[in-house]
Amino acid sequence: MLKEQPKVSIIIPIYNVESYIKRCVNSVFGQTYNNIEYIFVDDGSTDNSIQVLNNEIQSLSRQLEIKVIRHEKNLSLPTARNTGLDRSTGEYVAFLDSDDWVESNWISDLVRYLVDGHYDIVYCDYYESYDTYEKYMSQCCGVNNIECIKKMFMGEMHCFVWNKLFRRSLFTDNSIEFVDGANMFEDVGVVPRLFSTTKRIGYIPNAYNHYVQYNKSSIVRSRSDYNKQRCSVLQQIKNLSVVSEFICTKDFFPEVEREFSIMKLNIKKNIITQSRYSLLRWIVTFPEADKYILNHNQYSISGKLSFLLLHYKLVNVFMFFAKLKSVIK
C-alpha cells in the first residue's frame, strides 16, 4: 500500500447504457484505491442511464468525490471524454466505457506500478467479454515507446485508452485531446501521441478491464449501412490526420514511418467505391503513404498495380482495369 495516494480521475462517458451502467458503476465504486475522482459525463442520454447512476450514488454507504456533467445533446464519445478531461483534477487519469466493468484492484495495481517505476504511462492486458465466456487478451508489447507506437500502427497493440493509466500532464502539457465528433479510431487519434511524449512506460501482465462485446447499441458495433461505413472511414482519416501532424515533427518519425504509412494505406483503401469521386478522394488522402504500396504485404500484385494507377492519377485506366477484373472473375 502506498503511503500517499495520488489522486486519480476516472472519466466515464455515458450514452444510453441503462442495461449495463449499474455493473460498470458498482465496479468503479468498489475500487480498493481510495483517492479517486469519479467523473461521469452524460452525453445526452435519452434512456434511464442517469437515473440508474443516481440510484447507485444515493445508495453509497461512504462519501466519494463524484462529478456528474451533462451535455444537453449527444456530442460524441471523444467530446464527452474531453469534457471529463477539462473537469479533472487528478495527477493521473483513467478512462472507462460505461458498458464495460473492471476488477476492484484495477486502479490500486496500476497506480502502485506506475509510482514505483516512476512511469508516465502504464498499460495492461484485458478481457473480451462475450455472452457466455471471456477471452484473455495479452498486450505484451514492451516498454519502448517507439516500438509500442510501431505495434499500434501494425495493429499488434491496441490503442484503447481504458487499459492504460496516464499522467494527466501528458495531455495538458502537450495540448493533446480527443478529436471532437470523430467516434471511429478515437483512441488511435490520442494514444500514439501520448506515447510519443515520454519514454517512461510500464506494462503489467494482468487483466483488469472486461470489454463487453454483446452491447448491440455500442457505437463501435453499429456500422451496418453505407452511410455509417462512409462516416466511419472519414472519422478514421480525421483521427489519423491529427496523429500524422503531431508525430511527423518528432525526431523518431523515420523509425515508424513505414508502419504508419501502411496503416494509412489500409484506411484510405476503404474510401474506394464505384464512384469516380471516391477515386479522386483516394488520390488526395495521405499521398505521402503511396510510396509504400509496393511494400504492402497484404496487397496482391493486381492490387498493387491498381493503387499505383490511382497514385499516378490514371483514374480511367483504373476503372477499366477494375471492370476487367470483375469480368474475369
At 66-116, the pLDDT tens digits run 999 999 999 999 999 999 999 999 999 999 999 999 999 999 999 999 999
- Which residues are within 8 A (CB) of 163 and not within 5 positions of it... i.e. 6 or more apart? 123, 124, 125, 126, 139, 208, 209
Q: Using alpha carbons only, how large is the chain's radius of gyration in Å?
A: 22
Angle between the N-to-C axes of helices 226-247 and 253-268, in degrees from 0 to 180, rounded to the nearest 10? 170
- Which residues are within 8 A (CB) of 227 and not within 5 positions of it... i.e. 6 or more apart? none
pTM, rounded to two decimals: 0.93
Q: What is the pLDDT of residue 240?
A: 96
- Classify residue 133 as exposed, middle or buried by CB count within 10 Å of its CB (0-12, 13-18, 19+): exposed
Provide the 10 A C-beta neighbour count for residue 48: 15
Residue carrying C-alpha cell 483503401: 269
Distance of alpha carbon 112 from alpha carbon 162, whole angstroms: 17
Q: Distances in Å between the alpha carbon of 169 and those of 22, 88, 93, 144, 262?
A: 31, 11, 9, 20, 31
Distance of alpha carbon 176 from alpha carbon 121, whole angstroms: 15
Distance of alpha carbon 66 from alpha carbon 2, whole angstroms: 23
Give the angle subtended at the CA of 210 by the CAs of 141 and 262, to the nearest 5°.
40
- Domains of the chain and any CATH numbers: 8-221 (3.90.550.10), 251-328 (no CATH)
Q: What is the pLDDT of residue 324?
A: 82
Binned average pLDDT, 10 residues per bin, the chain of 329 residues: 86 97 98 97 97 97 96 96 98 98 98 97 97 95 95 96 98 97 93 98 98 70 55 92 96 97 96 92 97 94 94 94 77
Q: What is the pLDDT of residue 321?
A: 85
Q: What is the pLDDT of residue 221?
A: 47
Distance of alpha carbon 254 from alpha carbon 270, whole angstroms: 25
Contact 74, 41 (CB under 8 A): no
